[in-house]
């Protein structure tokens, strides 16, 4: 996607760089910075951190703003992971019949090894117009913004029409316990809402920091692993035989790699590609429009799929990620096994995808077994782009980010929104942040976020949440 957008960015009338040197902070921004700093500097990695401590610290900020103990629920993780807890806070609305709004963010972060980083990953460092630290983007920026929004709305003293809820959870980045899933299954009443706001949206900037587009995420793929296995009698390696477990599995994997899964279009991805056709180069724009008119147009699909991100947006994808075979260097293999990782398009089921894999393998001797997963057995359909949800996001984006298009997107990755969507709580990934082409170090080294950018994102999301909660 970024490649096509760069080629046409000059043709779009956009605002200046989002990542300019920040202006002096207002008093309310200074308070937010202090909260954000404390959250980032609380280690919440699965190996050595504590989501409980992060939740307790955010609860202290909420209580200082006037929240009563009854408005805040701190919950621990399970016995085997007692530090993987979280927080649910509630700001009651004045209309009991109006559906609540849930603000969802995960507290946990990906591992960060100090020896590999230029700066301490669990120190909140401001340098050259950037905040550095593990989680400054994924996802403690949202956690801090959402907590700060709850504080500001409480301090304003003006009752909102809708009830506003905040859930800060653990386990999104992996591990044996997921707090969002646990809340859905055990305390649905705590988080019951008409819709939820989450990570997964954002936006794109070019290599200079110039904003290109904003993204409003409605729908995401679901992660599912499958184990592929072949078994043979084996024997002495000096007496090769045609039924070799490694060769049979390898041949099947090659066949799997050569056939894409069929194109699927949802309302979200149709809207996304419609917008992309407006700003893509002429050849790509023509191909997009042809594919929207006829998803079976192979020529158009081949052009659109030149971009790996677009290729994944168009379909379920399955790719081999691990191999394990044989038992001795001087023996024929008795077993060969591969892990195939699939990202299932919203609405697709595990059993359907399993059948599609078997069809492409072309060998009934290769067994295909879904691996146990915490994910829903069927990728939930994307939530609707309802006017009362999408409309305010567009209107306020025009105010805060003039000239920058807001585009509906489907995430090809995964967030905790999959549990809420599967439970019937429509969950949307929020726009407002402009990611650099290198991904800002998310899940990697020296994770960073623009100081000016996160302050603009905070202002945008506060206004958007205020509108949602008032109407």
Above 80 in pLDDT, residue 7?
Answer: no
Instruction: Tell me the pLDDT band of 6, cut-offs 50, 70 and 90.
Output: very low
pLDDT digit string (tens) for 125-154? 999 999 999 999 999 999 999 999 999 999
Structure tokens, 123 = 């120190």
Q: Cβ of 401: how many Cβ atoms within 10 Å?
A: 23
Higher pLDDT pick, 333 / 206: 333
Query: What's residue 14's pLDDT?
Result: 35
Instruction: Tell me the pLDDT band of 289, cut-offs 50, 70 and 90.
Output: very high
Above 80 in pLDDT, residue 10?
Answer: no
How many Cα atoms within 13 Å fall on the side-chain side of residue 136?
A: 30
Length of the chain as a residue count: 471
Query: What's residue 375's pLDDT?
Result: 79
Above 90 in pLDDT, residue 21?
Answer: no
Contact 382, 346 (CB under 8 A): yes
pLDDT digit string (tens) for 346-392? 999 999 999 999 999 999 999 999 999 877 777 788 899 999 999 99
Q: Report, as an integer, the average pLDDT of 409-416.
A: 91
Q: Report, as an integer, the average pLDDT of 180-203.
A: 97
Query: What's residue 4's pLDDT?
Result: 38
With CA atoms as reference, report the closest residue to 205 among 453, 468, 465, 393.
Answer: 453
Query: What's residue 17's pLDDT?
Result: 47
Above 50 in pLDDT, residue 12?
Answer: no
Fold of 222-261+316-376: Alpha-Beta Plaits (3.30.70)
Q: Report, as an integer, the average pLDDT of 399-403.
A: 97
**Distance in angstroms (rounded) separating the CA atoms of residues 310 and 280:** 12
Give 404's DSSP letter: P
Query: What's residue 19's pLDDT?
Result: 56
**What are the domain boundaries of the chain?**
2-220+379-470, 222-261+316-376, 262-309
- Which residues make Cβ contacts (< 8 Å) with residue 293, sequence separation at least 6? none
**Distance in angstroms (rounded) separating the CA atoms of residues 297 and 309:** 19
Query: What's residue 18's pLDDT?
Result: 55
Above 70 in pLDDT, residue 283?
Answer: yes
DSSP-derived pairing of the beta strands 222-231 and 125-127 = unpaired
Query: What's residue 35's pLDDT?
Result: 98
Instruction: Tell me the pLDDT band of 20, cut-offs 50, 70 and 90.
Output: low
CATH architecture assignment, domain 2-220+379-470: 3-Layer(aba) Sandwich (3.40)
Instruction: Tell me the pLDDT band of 279, cut-offs 50, 70 and 90.
Output: confident
Instruction: Kindly state the helix (H) or strand (E) to which residue 462 belongs, with its residue range.
Output: helix 451-470
Which residues on adjacent β-strands are paired with residue 215?
202, 407
**Distance in angstroms (rounded) separating the CA atoms of residues 132 and 125:** 5
Q: Report, as an integer, the average pLDDT of 224-250.
A: 96
**Distance in angstroms (rounded) separating the CA atoms of residues 362 and 299:** 25
- Decide if 2-220+379-470 and 222-261+316-376 have a common fold: no
- Integer CA distances (angstroms), 115 to 34, 45, 48, 126, 438, in order: 26, 16, 16, 20, 21
Residue 403 C-alpha from the chain's centroid: 25
Above 90 in pLDDT, residue 414?
Answer: no
């Amino acid at each position: 996607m970024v490649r096509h957008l760069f080629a046409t960015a000059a043709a779009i009338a956009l605002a200046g760089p989002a990542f300019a040197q920040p202006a002096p902070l207002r008093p309310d921004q200074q308070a937010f910075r202090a909260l954000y700093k404390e959250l980032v500097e609380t280690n919440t990695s699965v190996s050595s951190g504590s989501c409980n401590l992060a939740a307790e610290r955010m609860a202290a900020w909420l209580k200082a703003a006037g929240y009563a103990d009854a408005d805040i629920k701190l919950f621990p993780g399970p016995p085997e992971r007692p530090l993987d807890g979280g927080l649910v806070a509630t700001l009651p609305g004045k209309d009991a019949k109006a559906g609540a709004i849930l603000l969802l963010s995960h507290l946990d972060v990906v591992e960060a090894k100090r020896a590999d980083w230029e700066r301490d990953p669990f120190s909140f460092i401001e340098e050259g117009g950037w905040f550095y630290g593990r989680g400054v983007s994924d996802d403690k920026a949202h956690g801090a913004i959402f907590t700060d929004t709850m504080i500001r709305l409480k301090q304003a003293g003006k009752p909102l029409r809708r009830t506003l809820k905040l859930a800060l959870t653990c386990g999104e980045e992996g591990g044996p316990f997921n707090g969002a899933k646990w809340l859905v299954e055990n305390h649905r009443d705590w988080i019951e809402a008409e819709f939820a706001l989450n990570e997964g949206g954002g936006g794109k900037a070019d290599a200079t920091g110039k904003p290109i587009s904003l993204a409003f995420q409605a729908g995401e793929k679901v992660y599912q692993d499958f184990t592929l296995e072949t078994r043979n009698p084996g024997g002495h390696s000096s007496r090769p035989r045609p039924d070799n477990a490694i060769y049979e599995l390898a041949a099947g994997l090659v066949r799997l790699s050569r056939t894409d899964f069929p194109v699927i279009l949802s309302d979200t991805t149709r809207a996304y590609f419609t917008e992309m056709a407006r700003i893509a180069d002429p050849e790509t724009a023509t191909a997009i429009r042809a594919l929207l008119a006829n998803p079976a147009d192979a020529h158009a699909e081949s052009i659109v799929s030149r971009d790996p991100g677009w290729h994944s947006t168009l379909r379920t994808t399955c790719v081999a990620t691990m191999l394990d075979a044989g038992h001795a260097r001087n023996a024929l293999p008795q077993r060969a096994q591969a892990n195939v990782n699939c990202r299932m398009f919203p609405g697709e089921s595990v059993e359907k995808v399993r059948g599609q894999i078997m069809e492409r393998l072309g060998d009934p001797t290769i067994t295909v077994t879904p691996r146990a997963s915490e994910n829903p057995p069927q990728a939930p359909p994307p939530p609707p782009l309802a006017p009362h949800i999408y409309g305010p996001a567009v209107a306020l984006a025009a105010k805060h980010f003039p000239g920058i298009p807001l585009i509906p997107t489907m995430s090809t990755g995964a967030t905790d929104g999959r549990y809420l969507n599967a439970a019937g709580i429509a969950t949307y990934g929020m726009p407002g942040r402009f990611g650099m082409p290198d991904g800002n170090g998310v899940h990697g080294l020296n994770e960073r976020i623009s100081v000016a950018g996160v302050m603009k994102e905070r202002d945008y999301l506060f206004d958007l949440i205020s509108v949602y909660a008032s109407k």
